[in-house]
Amino acid sequence: MTDSPTPRPPADAAATPGSPAPADVPRGALAERMGMRLVRVGAERTVATMPVAGNTQPYGLLHGGASAALAETVGSVAAAMHAGEGRIAVGVDLNATHHRAVREGVVTAVATPLSLGRSVVSYDIVVTDEQDRRVCTARLTCALRERPPGG
């Protein structure tokens, strides 16, 4: 999940005038350090990219933890869009399966909902390389809560 609990209204930032632009949606310090960039933001579809460079393990391959962090970030942003004003989304479960190695370029994560409830949401996240080959498949479940006082 993102470092910032700032909720946003449910909207698709790439398509809805007046909604927060992807650059305005909080990603958190880790996402910024890893070079993640939100491309499209909405409860029904959120898309982000991340460079492989700087996010590798000792063998020069994209680190599995980097793929997982990207998946959790994009899913958490989508969940926050669904949560709406005055509510927050907190990740409670993340699982990821890594399918192929990536050495260079940019990977893209797309989060789409599996279940959008009032108190729990689940997202399917697919991470692909620049040739549109699946790198990682993840599932994120978030609890939706009222924003705590002062939060």
∠ at Cα 94 (93, 100), nearest 5°?
A: 165
Dig out the tokens for 51 from the structure. 């460079």
Concerning whether 104 is annotated as a catalytic residue, the answer is no
In angstroms, how far is CA 43 from the centroid of its own chain?
Answer: 11
Length of the chain (residues): 151
In angstroms, how far apart are the furthest CA atoms of the chain?
46
CA torsion sign for 42, 3, 52, 67 is negative
Catalytic residue among 32, 44, 72, 104: 72
∠ at Cα 26 (83, 20), nearest 5°?
A: 70
Q: Any bridge partners for residue 98, and if so which?
A: 136
Catalytic residues, by residue number, are 72
